[in-house]
Amino acid sequence: MCGIKNMHHGQCDCGSGRKLFTKEEKIEKLKQYQDDLEKELEAVKETLLEMTREK
């Protein structure tokens, strides 16, 4: 319940529903995800390089 007497989610419009992203929001999220993956890949490459130097 949302706190409003005798009202359940979906009936009181208290905002408990899923957020559907717009096309622009999806694009922005994917760009951010791509950027995060590229940074992660760079970190992996650096770690591998350091580890191969230690042999």
Instruction: List, for residues 19-37, the tens digit of each pLDDT value.
Output: 899 999 999 999 999 999 9
- Phi/psi zone of residue 10: left (φ > 0), alpha (ψ -120 to 50 degrees), beta? left
Residue pLDDT, tens place only, 35-45: 999 999 999 99
Q: Which tens digits make up the pLDDT trace of 6-17?
A: 655 556 666 668
**Domain residue ranges of the chain, discontinuous segments joined by +:** 19-55
The C-alpha atoms of residue 35 and residue 23 are separated, in whole angstroms, by 18
Contact present, 2 and 12 (Cβ < 8 Å): yes
> What pLDDT is recorded for position 18?
82
- pLDDT value of position 2: 59
SS (H, E, C) 1-55: CCCCCCCCCCCCCCCCCCCCCCHHHHHHHHHHHHHHHHHHHHHHHHHHHHHHHCC
pTM score = 0.60
Give me the pLDDT at residue 16, please.
Answer: 66
